Amino acid sequence: MNRESDGVDDARWEHGSDFHWPGLDIAGTDDDASRWLAGLEAIRYAAGRGALRALLDHGGWPRVWLPSYVCAELVAAVGDRVRFYADDPSQAQGRIPADAQSGHAIVRINYFGLRRPNSAATLRERGLTVIDDHTHDPCGPWARDSDADYCLASLRKSLPLPDGAVLWSPVGGRLPSKPEACEAAAAKLPAMLLKSLYLAGHPVSKPRFRALAIAAEDRLAELAGVGMSAVSAELLECLPIAQLRARRRENFQAFASHLAAEEVGLLQPADPSLTPFACVLLFPSAVARELARRRLIAARIYPAVLWPLDELPDHRAMFPEACEVADRVLALHCDARYSAADMQRVAAGY
Ligand SMILES: Cc1ncc(COP(=O)(O)O)c(C=O)c1O
């Protein structure tokens, strides 16, 4: 991937939103993260929600506990079996309720890649099946050292892939049968290529690639549990995953060292060797968050609001802490699309 964002025309500079296809200046596959991922006995799906849905249909658990701070895609994948327990990224770990019983499954999320490895042994002793979600740092230490019954990770959230997710069992648990590779799942690739050309200054219509990206995201949601596309599988082979991951950590540090605003907090990893998924800002109030969001958008910096929880019935009454965090966070991407210079510009734009 090009350093210092070369290939990006300054007049077209922007930050965030969907991935563009990056130039690759380092050959992939021969680094420890790529080798680890390639060697994993995993089932490959087009999307993380499809991986979870397939696992739950296969395992047949009558109740599935999700953390209270969670994305809508996972809630929909669990469906009527869902129960919630209190957890959010401002906590070191979740509070497992007494009525999470033997025979149920529980999903834990390594929020934004900020958490240290956490053994599943105590939960398993209670008879729970533990499913860890490593979407935010798929090749991080917790994913690689996990002793959970199952792990899943949506790869397309941290890597420039049009689709892709993996499901594996660190303890040799039975996995669902392998789905067929589905080329329609890669519908985002044309939008990624056009965005790349747009950023380089070519005469490409931004509304057109945005519309293609949105339609592709809708298509992926409809496809649900299909297999990862062959094109994403090929692209994955080309990605120098360890370098991309190292770049994410450097970018987080560049942002952290240039963030001058005092009224806003930056969620920190549990230890400095971890690799955050994004620079997640915690504002003093929802109003302050909204003002900052508008200011950033005016500077062509597109942050993500992760995750709105208001559509979940009774959630605010039952989980006020998670809802309060959800009201106040804004996530700024720090993946390998960007350079340290970009991250300084984002910190200044804030
Ligand atoms: C932690 C986490 N898990 C799973 C998903 C779902 O991934 P996908 O969109 O590939 O279904 C997301 C998506 O935002 C996520 O953030």
Q: Whose CA is nearest to atom 3 of ligand 1?
A: 135
Quick one: 118 and 68 in the same domain? yes
Residue 229: pLDDT band by 50, 70, 90 thresholds?
very high
Mean pLDDT of all residues in 240-254: 96
Q: Is the CB of 107 under 6 A from ligand 1?
A: no
Q: In angstroms, what is the span from residue 202 Cα to ligand 1's centroid?
A: 32
| C-alpha distance from residue 127 to each of 100, 101, 103, 196 (Å) | 9, 7, 6, 49
Quick one: 90 and 203 in the same domain? no
Quick one: 100 and 51 in the same domain? yes
Residue type, 318: M
Quick one: 32 and 155 in the same domain? yes
CATH number, domain of 70, equals 3.40.640.10
Quick one: 147 and 212 in the same domain? no
Residue from 135, 142, 155, 309 whose mutation best tests the ligand 1 pocket (most atoms within 8 A of CB): 135
Quick one: 207 and 109 in the same domain? no
Residue type, 93: Q
The range of the structural domain enclosing residue 201 comes to: 184-222
Residue 29: pLDDT band by 50, 70, 90 thresholds?
low
Quick one: 95 and 154 in the same domain? yes
Does residue 22 form part of some domain? no
Number of domains the chain is built from:
3
Mean pLDDT of all residues in 219-230: 95
pLDDT at residue number 4: 46
Quick one: 255 and 207 in the same domain? no
Q: Judge contact between 332 and 278, C-beta under 8 A.
A: yes
Does residue 211 form part of some domain? yes
Helix (H, G, I), strand (E, B) or coil at 85: strand
Q: In angstroms, what is the span from residue 333 Cα to ligand 1's centroid?
A: 15
